[in-house]
Structure 1
Amino acid sequence: QQAGISGNMVIGALVSLEANKKTVKEIMEYYGSYFGQITVNVGDVDKSGISATFINVKCSDYQAIAYSSLLETLEGIKHEKITPTILNFAKKVFQTLAIAESHVHGVNLDKIHFHEVGAADAVADIMGASYAFHELGLTEEKVYGLPPSLGGGRIKSAHGNLSVPAPATLEILKNVPVKGGPVNYELTTPTGAALLVNMVDEFSEFYPLITNKKVAYGAGRLDLDYPNVLRIISGTSPIPTDNISILETNLDDVTGEVLGHTVDRLMEEGALDVTIIPTIAKKNRPAHLLRVISKSSMNDILAETIIRETGTLGVRTIPYVHRNIVSREIIPVEVDFYGQPKTVRIKVAKIGEEVVNVTVEYEDARKVSNELKMPLKDVIRFINRKMSF
């Protein structure tokens, strides 16, 4: 929380976390070379007694570049390791920077030129960080961030001397907890801030409950009287997280029969859950909100099913939603119903080794209810009394 964050610090920490050093360097130089002369060196350095990975980027090109031109050039560059997902993530980071500059200077996005972040340097940092972040599978994990230190003093810019933090940095970090100081240097850069807000799911003043598995350090360029390093801690939570997507659409002209059939079809196609919520739509018409929880890999298939079954003109997709889940185990149990043994499956939910909930599988309870001509609520109550977990 003392050292702030910059693009090369993020990459250094991710390489220290065991992202492929050779590939990261190759990608940084490859993409950066389209915008100027660039060399990247990766090595370990000592920062006030802490061994950290330092990404040293040297560029001979500091020319401004239009945001629209930058995106167009990026689209035309191909690299076997850069998937469309990684490229889209990198473009989101550049968009974050561009929107911040747009707000600060009061101009449209098509008028934005990147001055302070340069061209080759910024592209190298953002592409390298985006690749390393995805290579480590961190988009599938919940990522927490602590308040970054912004620094202090003044910096030179294309618009003259500015107070630290730079206006773009402050704009990017809206609604993010931050701290000033503790030195009169720029500690958090616009590029570092843009990477931070796109990588972090939740900000917290303190570390969350976590079992630490690995600690990685990325070094900053400045030598300060404390370790100028960005620290990333990788670990596990007592309550695991899962990465899902949410698909939604509003329906105001679909019958109950079609809605019921659509739910069945979506579950058959692989949806994790489907809910229908009564709502009020345009022109105050009664309607239903169809909400589907899906694995990201199933988004396109399920969206097509929604469109085909309901005739809706569009489906909203909310990607990369993290949910907390408890581990659960299915245990077959034989229960004696007044001399008639029946086997039912029991779902046991746990946090670590602690049992937090026990329920009978609905379909099994329903089958017993039909076979014994016994009300379902009585079957469930009877099974619950017999279980001892």
Structure 2
Amino acid sequence: MVVVVDPQLAGVAGNMIVGALIGLGAHPDEVVEVMEAAASYFGGVDVKVSDVKRAGIKATYVEVKKASMPNFKYPEFLERIESIDHPLIDDNVISFSRAVFHTIAQAEAKIHGESLDDIHFHEVGASDAVADVFGAAFAYFSLGFDKEKVYSLPVALGGGSTTSAHGRIPIPAPATLEILRGVPIHGGLVEMELATPTGAALLVNIVDEFKNFLPPIRVVEIGYGAGKMDPDFPNILRIIKGTKSLEEDKIVLFETNLDHLSGEIIGNLFDDLIGEGALDVTITPILMKKNRPGHLLRVISKPEDQENILRRIFKETGTLGIRIFPQVHRTILKRDKIPFKVNIKGEWTANFKVAFLDSEIISARIEYEDAKKISSKTGLPLREVMEMAEEQFKNRRW
């Protein structure tokens, strides 16, 4: 299962996340109970969940009315968080909520040039923000999303200016911008605040990876969380739950030019680098500067193997420099190794490398070593053995 948060049209706020998670199946009565219980330690709130329409799209709106505007220093705020006691609020919810508010506190401290101990929580420490964070945390864990890969698309921020505890400030608020440092963002459609500090802090603590485009998935469910305003565009945050049809992993790509090695040494590189954990090794003839013939060595490895492979390349080739393309994304098909009996001058059991797209087999190749063994025993050319075996696998009945 995979989860995708989509704030690219209307941004993100705490109550929008809560609404979208309720739309995906989090129990609304339990979410409201958690929100009101947590906020009671900070002045109290009244929470109402309802179905609304935003530009014609039905969504879940979580209305949170606060009873007061407390002003806590960060250490006192954390003490109150830790003191919350309710049967639905477990350690996971407490720890996650604390992490969200720590994200906000760090941003505020940096903006104002103060230490964490001296930071005062104004709007973001109000009871409605506490309710939003605890409600989102409870819904997130109750849906099991902590065990899933969570992506986010770019965040719409809005524009213009707004009034805060510090007076008139630009949109996005400085805390929001600081929290989203390194995250793909854009202005959005309107001059209004689309992304709040609470929403931004929840987002960066929920999301494992930010992407510019929707990853390839099969959609299972969609939850829509409504914002308070009803402008002429859908003021909604949608969270998509689906399954991935294509797998992704992260690799490191190395390459270097070689113009001084013999064929024997270049050929020996393959076994050495594969032995160090390389996923793939290719060597391509190239023409270098001053028309010198040479070879381009390209090596793919897992990130955890990169240091060993780098050392091996330097040691074996004597090259003076290696180009590194770190954390390259690679989309891969689901793969498996399946044993299958073939009839080639007798019956043999061979392993096939099988690739799946969803549940459909789209590629199957006999393992080289198994094909070589059959070829040796039968006297048939290796090419014929591979063609016959793969044809029999293709026409299998099971």
Task: With the length of structure 2 as denominator, give the TM-score of the two structures.
Answer: 0.67
Q: Which of 125, 136, 139 is residue 132 of structure 2 equivalent to?
A: 125
The root-mean-square deviation of aligned C-alpha atoms, in Å, is 3.5
Question: Distance in 1 between the 2:81 and 2:117 partners?
Answer: 16
Question: Distance in 1 between the 2:109 and 2:363 partners?
Answer: 50
Is residue 22–residue 139 contact of structure 2 (8 Å, CA) maintained in 1? yes
User: How far did residue 170 of structure 1 move?
Assistant: 0.7
> 1:202 maps to which residue?
209
Letter of the 2:35 counterpart: M
User: How far did residue 233 of structure 1 move?
Assistant: 2.3
Q: Which of 31, 38, 41 is residue 34 of structure 1 equivalent to?
A: 41
Letter of the 2:200 counterpart: A
C-alpha change, 1:279 and 1:78, in structure 2 (3 Å) is farther
Is residue 10–residue 230 contact of structure 1 (8 Å, CA) maintained in 2? yes
> 2:238 maps to which residue?
231
Letter of the 1:386 counterpart: A
Q: Which of 145, 148, 152 is residue 145 of structure 1 equivalent to?
A: 152
User: How far did residue 82 of structure 1 move?
Assistant: 3.5
> 1:187 maps to which residue?
194
Question: Distance in 1 between the 2:341 and 2:168 partners?
Answer: 77
Question: Distance in 2 between the 1:194 and 1:110 partners?
Answer: 19
Q: Which structure is richer in relative contact order (CA contacts within 8 A, separation 6 or more)?
A: 2
Q: Name which one, 1 or 2, has greater alpha-carbon Rg.
A: 2
C-alpha change, 1:279 and 1:57, in structure 2 (3 Å) is same
> 1:5 aligned to 2:4?
no
**Is there any run of 5+ residues in structure 2 with no aligned partner, and where?**
1-7, 250-301, 310-328
> 1:79 maps to which residue?
86
> 1:221 aligned to 2:228?
yes
Question: Distance in 2 between the 1:42 and 1:175 partners?
Answer: 33
- Which region of structure 1 is more displaced relative to structure 2, 125-134 or 112-121? 112-121
> 1:348 maps to which residue?
354
How many residue pairs end up in the alignment? Answer: 311
The share of aligned pairs that are identical, in percent, is 46
C-alpha change, 1:343 and 1:357, in structure 2 (3 Å) is closer
Residue 42 of structure 2 aligns to a residue whose secondary structure is: coil
**Is there any run of 5+ residues in structure 1 with no aligned partner, and where?**
243-272, 281-321
1:147-166 equivalent positions in 2, closer than 5 A:
147-166=154-173
Is residue 62–residue 119 contact of structure 1 (8 Å, CA) maintained in 2? yes
Task: With the length of structure 1 as denominator, give the TM-score of the two structures.
Answer: 0.69
Q: Which of 60, 70, 91 is residue 67 of structure 2 equivalent to?
A: 60
> 2:177 maps to which residue?
170
Q: Which of 380, 385, 389 is residue 386 of structure 1 equivalent to?
A: 389
User: How far did residue 71 of structure 1 move?
Assistant: 2.2
Q: Which of 92, 98, 116 is residue 109 of structure 1 equivalent to?
A: 116
C-alpha change, 1:162 and 1:234, in structure 2 (3 Å) is same
Question: Distance in 1 between the 2:363 and 2:206 partners?
Answer: 32
> 1:51 maps to which residue?
58
Question: Distance in 2 between the 1:143 and 1:183 partners?
Answer: 27
Question: Distance in 2 between the 1:210 and 1:60 partners?
Answer: 42
